[in-house]
Structure 1
């Protein structure tokens, strides 16, 4: 089986590549290295430096004849999407359509798409199920929702199978400081450096933190799922506040940081936790890592002894 992973040198994409290589699949990485890192590239995968918006993408896929595509390449920052909506649209929508055209013309069997909890926006209905109303509060969330609609239409019109995975807040090794899950990376780095932690608002806002290896496992399962052509939440279905996160990190690291409160951020979702029963049924997937277990692994990678 020949699989192309776009964004495979990035945080989540590189973990997906590791999972596929471990499963003895023939893996290719496509990444322009704008945010990905060459150091993340698994030596068991072939690397192609290319942008998903390149016109030459059709020729590449026609030549290589991939069986499956896992699409992780994206503009992922909510704040950046608000500062530069054009760029967000260019990468997340035009880039996706370019990839979809190349995939259908080269007879790709199925595309796995990285969607996001950002498509839901703020809602009082928790945990959020897949059929909940969609009210994205950022252009990033809107671009991901639009991407899902393109996938639906490519399946209906051309028969290109898809699975869209709506990630909760992903964290883990190799993560930078971007995205919602990036708060964990920021807090860990500052905690271990003896610096204070900045909390926007009162710290009661919540997120559903999912470990990156669980996300990689969900992408692997989506390749073979019989229940395709729909969207799935990939989450723990557990709600954690910023205050609780700081307390847990402090306990695991054996350190007590100073906490600095700042004004709440614009467009910040107050509470977010995603239901995951559909993925359990449709993908035969469940998260294997608790938040303390995932954080302990991150601390271990950083060379810090956990309690």
Structure 2
């Protein structure tokens, strides 16, 4: 049985754990909170275990179960809060990455360590597809901490021989996220469509980014981890297509059947240009055909609505009730 450990039970950690269990794998999730109910989720044909606490402190008992891979899906702050507390973001991210690598180095040096990094935070916009060999040019504390985290993984690979990998993920969507995260354009668009609250549009709305559905992210990541061969130290995980913020709003409006009003926000240097990922290296290792944006947003809409009327959904969102699976 393939055994996976996930550090962090948030948006991505929860999805990876459930995806692993659905494949018949064993998934141990370590987290300080459980916002998506990982601890009570149906594991299907696999095994699913939630351990409360600090990832570094709980990792030794997880490694005792002969874990094949440790996925880092936590650490630091979300993008917007990181700008106000760059030191705290760096400390949170790097102390976790370094601490986990030290535990693996001491107790289970054959276990893979995989960091979920951020392509949107690491690469700068370009008219060309961004490949793994392109220079990294972070423009935020969030991007800086992820990039330095990648460098620490490379250090542990080069000096200590660990199998370390960084997945530079595109903008992942698939369920509603808390507004406090300051992250998730698609989620924010859904929230505006459901509540009637204007969407804050930064810049002219023509800035374009690569958006990947959560299901495709999970499939690609688990397919990589399930390979019986070494994988590159850095891999892009995206769709290879860029879509403007305006196009996202139009797709969400069409999927929900509700118009989205906009209100202008400040324009920043990071809210410009086009950024899409070159996924040719990823496709050399796994069979990967991600959903196009319109199809992915319709899938998210079905998950969010789940047969309920628009008025019921608006009430749920305004009452801060859960509205997606």
> How many residues get paired?
300
What is the CA distance between 1:89 and its match in structure 2? 1.1
Q: Find the counterpart in structure 2 of residue 206 from structure 1.
A: 208
Q: Find the counterpart in structure 2 of residue 3 from structure 1.
A: 4
What is the CA distance between 1:106 and its match in structure 2? 1.7
Q: Find the counterpart in structure 1 of residue 22 from structure 2.
A: 22
Matched, 1:260 2:257: no
> CA 1:285/1:167 → structure 2, altered by over 3 Å: closer, same or farther?
farther
Q: Hey, what's the Cα distance between the residues in 1 that align with 2:180 and 2:224?
A: 25
Whether the 8 Å contact between 2:69 and 2:112 is mirrored in structure 1 is: yes
Q: Hey, what's the Cα distance between the residues in 2 that align with 1:167 and 1:89?
A: 19
- Residues 229-268 of structure 1: pairs in structure 2 closer than 5 A: 229-265=232-268, 267-268=270-271
What is the CA distance between 1:60 and its match in structure 2? 3.0
> CA 1:244/1:123 → structure 2, altered by over 3 Å: closer, same or farther?
closer
Residue from 37, 40, 44 that aligns with 1:39: 37
User: Which runs of no fewer than 5 residues in structure 2 stay unpaired?
Assistant: 310-325
> CA 1:174/1:285 → structure 2, altered by over 3 Å: closer, same or farther?
farther
Q: Hey, what's the Cα distance between the residues in 1 that align with 2:288 and 2:180?
A: 25
Q: Hey, what's the Cα distance between the residues in 2 that align with 1:31 and 1:167?
A: 21
C-alpha RMSD over aligned residues: 2.3
What is the CA distance between 1:31 and its match in structure 2? 0.7
* 1:208-242 superposed Cα distances (whole Å, 9 cap, x missing partner): 10001111112212213424242111011111101
> CA 1:191/1:110 → structure 2, altered by over 3 Å: closer, same or farther?
same
> CA 1:263/1:174 → structure 2, altered by over 3 Å: closer, same or farther?
closer
Matched position secondary structure for 2:37: helix
Q: Find the counterpart in structure 2 of residue 284 from structure 1.
A: 286
Q: Hey, what's the Cα distance between the residues in 1 that align with 2:287 and 2:171?
A: 17
Q: Hey, what's the Cα distance between the residues in 2 that align with 1:89 and 1:265?
A: 22
Which shows bigger deviation, 21-30 or 101-110? 101-110
Matched position secondary structure for 1:89: helix
Q: TM-score, normalised by structure 2?
A: 0.85
* 1:117-145 superposed Cα distances (whole Å, 9 cap, x missing partner): 14534243521111111111111111111
Q: Find the counterpart in structure 2 of residue 13 from structure 1.
A: 13
Matched position secondary structure for 1:293: helix
Q: Hey, what's the Cα distance between the residues in 1 that align with 2:276 and 2:190?
A: 22
Q: Hey, what's the Cα distance between the residues in 2 that align with 1:32 and 1:102?
A: 19
Q: TM-score, normalised by structure 1?
A: 0.89
